Structure formats: structure tokens, C-alpha cells
Amino acid sequence: MEPEGLVYLDEAGINSQDSDYPYGYCQEGQRFHALKSGKRPGRVSYMAAWCHQQLLAPFTFEGCCNRTVFELWLEFILIPTLVLHTAFISIIKHSNNTW
């Protein structure tokens, strides 16, 4: 298979706690005080595919990725996108070969 035809998948996320980390300076020997919730914060995750130098099927959701989320994304978002994208690439390749 040609490297250009490969589809790369990736998933990542960030906890809302990570974006609001209290950090500061104070005089030596003094304690720095800040408010920070002890509750577990929400998480925003995203996944997408990369093929033919294009970002395909980006998907953002709340929570962590698990098998169910991945399979739903694969079935209802990525595969239909790849079918359309592959058909488009095939048409371009075919039309270039006939000229």
C-alpha cells in the first residue's frame, strides 16, 4: 500500500483542571494560597484522521474515549467520510489517467 493511502488516527483530550492550575510567587518562607476544587473536573476529548495531507472526520466530545465512542465515530463519521474522500480521489486519479 502506498504511504499516501494510509489513514492515521489519533485521540487526545484535556481536563479542565489542567487549564486552571494556580501557580504563583510569594516571599520566601510564605505559603502561596489559591482556590482549587478537589472535585474531578470535566474532560474534553477529540479525535480525527489524517489522510492525503487532509484532516478528516474531526470529532469533539465530553469525557474519555472508550470502545463505544470509538466504534460510533468509526461507523458513523470516519467511514462515510473515507468513502466520499476515496471516491473523490479515485475520480481525480481516473480523470488524470484519461487525459
Structure confidence by residue, pLDDT tens digits, 21-35: 556 677 888 887 776
Q: Flag whether 54 is in a domain.
A: yes
For residue range 43-88, what is the model confidence (pLDDT) as tens digits?
A: 899 999 998 888 999 999 999 999 999 999 999 999 899 888 775 5
Q: Which of the pair, 40 or 49, is modelled with greater confidence?
A: 49
Domain count across the chain = 1
Is residue 76 situated within a structural domain?
yes
| Within-domain flag for 90 | yes
Question: Distance between CA atoms of 6 and 28, rounded to whole angstroms?
Answer: 55
Instruction: Report how far residue 77's alpha carbon sits from residue 80's, in angstroms, rounded to the nearest whole number.
Output: 6
Q: How are strands ordered across the β-sheet holding 43-51?
A: 8-15, 43-51, 54-62
The whole domain housing 93 covers 8-14+41-99
Residue 91's pLDDT band (cuts 50, 70, 90): very low
Answer whether residue 27 is part of any domain. Answer: no
* pTM of the complete model: 0.66
